[in-house]
Amino acid sequence: MLQPLRGWLLLCLCLLCVACAPGGEAPLRVGTNIWLGYEPFYVARQAGSLPENVRLVEYASASEVLSAFRSRAIEAAAVTLDEAISLAENDNSLRIGLVLDTSDGADALVARPGIRRLSELKGRTIGVESLAVGAYLLGRALQRADLSVHDVRIVPTPLDQHESAFSRAEVDAVVTFYPVLAHLRERGGEVLFDSRAMPGEIVDVLVYREEQHKQHGKALQALALAWFDGVGRVADRQPLAMLTMAHRQKLSPRMLDEALGLLEFQDITRNRSALLGAHPGLAPVFGRLSLGMRELGLINRPLEPVNHLDSRIVEDLPG
């Protein structure tokens, strides 16, 4: 089944790349951070299916991606759905045009050895990227233990400092994700709470502004096809794809296989289900998440999904 689909995707990609071949047009810059869920983009780039007028820009943390998007240093960004909602609160032109993956245990609150229950976090120091998905996951974890943010000491900690802060006991726990999650578990870290406890709530999406769809519509379509090509290669566990991911994420083959079992990459069929029609599947997830973020004080008002979900990229793809 996957081979005919792969051929169809590559044919469509070639046609789109011809249509948007370099001709003086500024490239579409797409920001990502170091997260396994975004690896199909890099697998596609390594395989040569990423269009020439698309540039992947990798940042050290999700907070840096959000800052770059807000300052317009990039035209599109791979972010979690809660981050997209945070951006949309102050940007009515924000669009969500592609669903990338869902986390089923790949994001977690990890405590130092000896701390085994969420209730034991009271009075402790927790490292978190306060402007990213970590703040939302921490809020949900504290809710489960009947604690509030006032019961713990939160230390803003960028992703690239999670391991060092944990190792030097600068924090008692940290909200993190793969590949750091795997490394902390090997050092005896205790997973107290992870995304399996909040199914469907940690979703990665591609965002851009309405003006970028007008300017880079064809490039966005080609980017989507490259994503689906990368997803297919990962699903097939193609050796080169696995090697690319393991090298970039600094994971052993065993760790990589374990991590992939905690993620669900979204193909074209699932994207159409999530974004197309009068009742797109992502709309209720967006709505519940928006309300939850309002309750946690992460946004000031719940948002309407219909104002931000954009089906045009997947709707206009051939086939």
CATH T-level topology, domain 2-102+201-315: D-Maltodextrin-Binding Protein; domain 2 (3.40.190)
What strands lie across the sheet with 76-80, from one edge to the other? Answer: 54-59, 28-33, 76-80, 203-209, 94-103, 263-265
Residue with tokens 């793809």: 317
Q: How far apart are CA 253 and CA 123, in angstroms?
A: 38
What is the DSSP-derived secondary structure letter of residue 104?
A: S
The CATH number of the structural domain formed by 107-197 is 3.40.190.10
Beta bridge partner(s), residue 102: 203, 264
CB 138 within 8 A of CB 74: no
- pTM of this prediction? 0.84
Q: How far apart are CA 108 and CA 83, in angstroms?
A: 17
Tokens of 312: 């045009």
Cβ density class 109-142: b for 16+ within 10 Å, e for less: bbbbeebeebebbeeebbbbbbbbbbbbbbbbbb
Per-residue pLDDT of the chain (319 residues; tens, 9 = 90+): 444 455 445 445 444 444 444 445 689 999 999 899 999 999 999 999 999 999 999 998 888 999 999 999 999 999 999 999 999 999 999 999 999 999 999 999 999 999 999 999 999 999 998 666 788 899 899 999 999 989 999 999 988 899 999 999 999 999 998 889 999 999 999 999 999 998 888 999 999 999 999 999 999 999 999 999 999 999 999 999 999 999 999 999 999 999 999 999 999 999 999 999 889 999 999 998 888 888 888 899 889 999 999 999 999 787 5
Asked if the domains at 2-102+201-315 and 107-197 fall in one CATH topology, the answer is yes
What are the structural domain ranges in the chain? 2-102+201-315, 107-197
